Amino acid sequence: MQPNDSVTTLNHLFFYHLDHYRFDRLLSFQNRGELMVWSTQRFAHAVFALRHFLLNSGLAPGDRVAVFSENRPEWHIADFALLLSRLVVVPVYNTLSPSQIAYLLRHSGCRAAIIAGAAQWKILRPLLAEPAPELPEMEIIVAMEEPPGIPTSLPRIVAEAPAFDEPAVHRIRAEALAAEPHDLATIVYTSGTTGTPKGVMLSHGNIVSDLRGSLARVPSNTAHQALSVLPLPHVLERTLSYGYFHEGVRIAYGDPHDLKELLPIHRPDIMGVVPRILEKVKEAVEAQIAQLVPHRRAIAGKLIDAAVALARAEGVGQTIVSCGLRQRLLARLANLLVFPKVHRQLCGLKYFISGGAWLNPDVELFFRAAGFDVLQGYGLTETSPVITLNEFHRERIGSVGPALPGVEVRIAEDGEILTRGPHVMLGYYQNEAATLQVLEPDGWLHTGDLGSVDADGFVTITGRRKEILVLSNGKNVPCAPLEHALERSVYIQQALVVGDGRKFVSALIVAHPENVAQVATQHGLTCGTFDELLLAPPVVALFREELESLQAGFSSFERAKRFCFLNEEALLDTELVTPTQKVRRSVLERKYAEWIRQMYQQADPLVIPRPEQVVSAGSYKT
């Protein structure tokens, strides 16, 4: 973002886009087999039409309005229409339970909601039912489609809107640009890993300053088509999308589970991801290599290993020459024989913006070795969201980069990361006590994360301040370093350690089915189910060896002494896992208390049974 572009609010950003870009295919979405395309002109007209409707519906500046939908073009139409109306956007995750949604809408006092269609209406309708509606303040429902039961829809609003000629657009611009940077733009509710979700108040200035600093770290005109698959209520994806609008990058929308179908349709250059998406791609490549005949499999493995070693050397500042001629030749062969197939399968993707969780350096190195650019940063909802971000082509493997321009970072005496600057939230909505707990009078925000800063200002995250196990002997064990170490195993998708108040640490392990199945084939094992396979002696021995090896660098009291297996289906449980894929540890301990107790009583591992159904989250109380 250029310093002289005069973008000081998100409303300025909208008009900046209209002033600089015109696309026949700005936004696209595959909806039930039909490709929906929005040109710049159609997009702008829809935003103006919805704004006109909202302002004529009795809503006043500062009123809260929910946007409850999957990723699609109408999400951004609703977002910008609300912002131009000087209303406050309350995004709602499409995957939340009805009780969670009711809490968010009730706590924020939303007077209106813009929803996708029938699925969302099925949740909202009981909350609005007379004679005692749970959401008495909500007066207006607008559907992006035309489901039965909702008289007001975006297509109808657009069709019935007046023409917006040049004087009308000029008037809208003048009214919208009266917004100030300190004005409240949105209330984003946190995932609630440690209790009731809190509404993070972000101003126009918060988000724009963060966007400006982030864009300064990446070169302009590097991408032309983006794919938006992370949920837009997540402030990372939302800010990324604002960056796309500023830089003139077209946006396609979809679900991360449909990547195989979406990539050839939209052929994106850039995509925001959480680490699990990258891990899935890497695992798919490894599975394909595993299907090769033995000698070709061995060759492919050696070529990839050489390319990864070269990427690792470059990532720590070594010269390519230091890697040796043989390794450089093998790496070059990998780029000729192995990685082109990966690029073809990803249909032209070049850039990944990774956030939301820890990125395994081995995964990052694989993609760098394959010729992709992976840009990793760090931040919180409370920081709009970016605090640090690696600079394009100046990244450091394992680091989340230096602080953005204008952002301060320091490490407290207990190792907690503190930050201060224009990116820090206004506070928590209607929760002054929680605000005072994290925000110092002089502007320093307590992130709750532990980390370090090197001499060059690069930040490394080492764990969560609250995610520390206190053993019965008084020893403290940070969860994140141990879990990250275990997750380096090709046989472990996810590791969750427990041990608070107990004599030693143990781990709940989500095994990698394909890689474990390969071990079974090598040992000639035939088991009826995957659960039976996990408990086969050779497989148990394999996991014991993995834990022994991966924990070698930890003190004895920090190591997981026992383990059990948790089925992958557990990670779909919306009570256990937040929409941003963070595990609620209190829920983990409560839901699996009996199995954890058994794990501590017996030396041999066990398999926690699959849940019969996904358990809905408990109610939140105001």
Percent of the chain residues topping a pLDDT of 70: 95
Q: What is the pTM of this model?
A: 0.85
Asked if pLDDT for residue 40 goes beyond 90, the answer is yes
Residue 164 reports pLDDT greater than 60 = yes
CATH number at residue 389: 3.40.50.12780
Q: Note the pLDDT of residue 32.
A: 84
Report the number of distinct structural domains present in the chain.
3
Last-in-domain residue among 239, 269, 299:
269
Q: What is the pLDDT of residues 251-274, one digit of tens each?
A: 999 999 899 999 999 999 999 998
Give residue-wise pLDDT tens across range 298-356. 999 999 999 999 998 887 666 666 678 888 899 999 999 999 999 999 999 999 999 88
Asked if 39 and 172 sit in the same domain, the reply is yes
Q: Spell out the residues 6+ positions from residue 315 whose beta carbon is closer than 8 angstroms to its own.
A: 365, 368, 395, 396, 397
Distance, CA of 213 to CA of 326 (rounded, Å): 41
Tell me the per-residue pLDDT of 2-13, one tens digit each, with 9 for 90 and over.
545 789 999 999
Peptide bond preceding 537 in cis form (omega within 30 of 0) = no
Cβ atoms of 191 and 405 within 8 Å: the answer is: no
| 160 in the same domain as 93 | yes
In a domain, 211, yes or no: no
Whether 378 and 391 map to the same domain: the answer is: yes
* pLDDT tier, 622 (very low <50, low <70, confident <90, very high otherwise): very low
Q: Which of 189-198, 199-208, 578-587, 610-619 has the lowest mean pLDDT?
A: 610-619
Mean pLDDT for the chain? 91
Same domain, 112 and 222: yes
The residues near 472 (Cβ < 8 Å, ≥ 6 apart) are 501, 502, 503
Pairwise pLDDT comparison (571 vs 247), residue with the higher score? 247
Same domain, 65 and 15: yes
Residues 78 and 226 in one domain: yes
Q: Has residue 62 got a pLDDT over 70? A: yes
Residue 615 falls within a domain, yes or no? no
**pLDDT value at 457 more than 90:** yes
Is 456 found in the same domain as 490?
Answer: no
Query: What is residue 501's predicted lDDT score, i.e. its pLDDT?
Result: 83
Domain boundaries, position 435? 275-347+350-464
Indicate if 265 and 281 belong to the same structural domain. Answer: no
Q: Which of 31-40, 60-69, 369-378, 573-582 has the lowest mean pLDDT?
A: 573-582
pLDDT in tens, 286-307: 889 988 999 999 999 999 999 9
List the single range of 97-111, 238-252, 277-291 with lowest mean pLDDT.
277-291
Residue 620 lies in a domain: no
The DSSP H or E segment spanning 323 is none
Q: Please tell me the predicted confidence (pLDDT) of residue 619.
A: 33
Q: What is the per-residue pLDDT across 103-125, written as a single tens digit (0 to 9) for each?
A: 999 999 999 999 999 999 999 99
Query: Is-contact 495 266, C-beta < 8 A?
Result: no
Q: According to the model, what pLDDT value does residue 195 have? A: 63
472-491 pLDDT, tens digit per residue, is 877 888 898 899 999 999 99
Determine which of 368-372, 373-377, 470-474, 601-605 has the lowest per-residue pLDDT on average. 470-474
User: Which pLDDT belongs to residue 617?
Assistant: 34
SS3 84: helix
3-class DSSP assignment, residue 480: helix
Q: Are residues 110 and 58 in the same domain?
A: yes
Q: How confident is the model at residue 520 (pLDDT cuts 50, 70, 90)?
A: confident
Residue 207 lies in a domain: no
Query: Which H/E stretch holds residue 498?
Result: strand 492-498
- C-alpha–C-alpha distance, residues 121 and 473, integer Å: 52
pLDDT in tens, 602-615: 989 999 987 653 33
Q: Do residues 311 and 359 both lie within one domain?
A: yes
Best CA proximity match to 73, nearest among 46, 91, 52, 93? 46
- Would 376 be classed as within a structural domain? yes
542 lies in the same domain as 587: yes
